[in-house]
Amino acid sequence: MTFNWPIRVYYEDTDSGGVVYYANYLKYMERARTEYLRQLGFEQDALIKSHNVLFAVRHVQLDYHKPARFNERLEVRSSVTECKKASLLFDQQVYRVDDDALLCAGQVKIACFTGRFL
């Protein structure tokens, strides 16, 4: 299953040339993962309170293909490609909506921590 999350590039996301700063793609992907989990019924703050469970990024691998610019509409496409006892692996891509150009692609491994690690 692929989850799609829309993003609009704001001025604060860009450098002086109007190009999205590279680290902001990570923020876009984080928002998409959070909304994906929410859609599946997992509210992260509720998991901490009720089950003492926390998700944290363990590893990230990104490839940048093309720049995004101020005011463009983007879409983050996310899918879970691996689900283990204590981790999830997400494949995520950021596309520009107007021409469906791939801007950034990556894999993000999320670790699940419980009780003694919190």
pLDDT for residue 48: 81
Domains of the chain (ranges plus CATH)?
Answer: 3-117 (3.10.129.10)
Q: Residue 106 above 70 pLDDT?
A: yes
Which residues carry out catalysis? 15
Average pLDDT for residues 17-21, to the nearest whole number?
96
Beta-bridge partners for 60: 108
107 Cβ contact list (under 8 Å, min separation 6): 59, 60, 61, 81, 89, 90, 91, 92
3-state DSSP assignment of residue 13? helix
pLDDT tens digits, one per residue of 33-89: 999 999 998 888 888 888 888 889 999 999 999 999 999 999 999 999 999 999 999
Query: Confidence band (pLDDT; 50, 70, 90) for 117?
Result: low
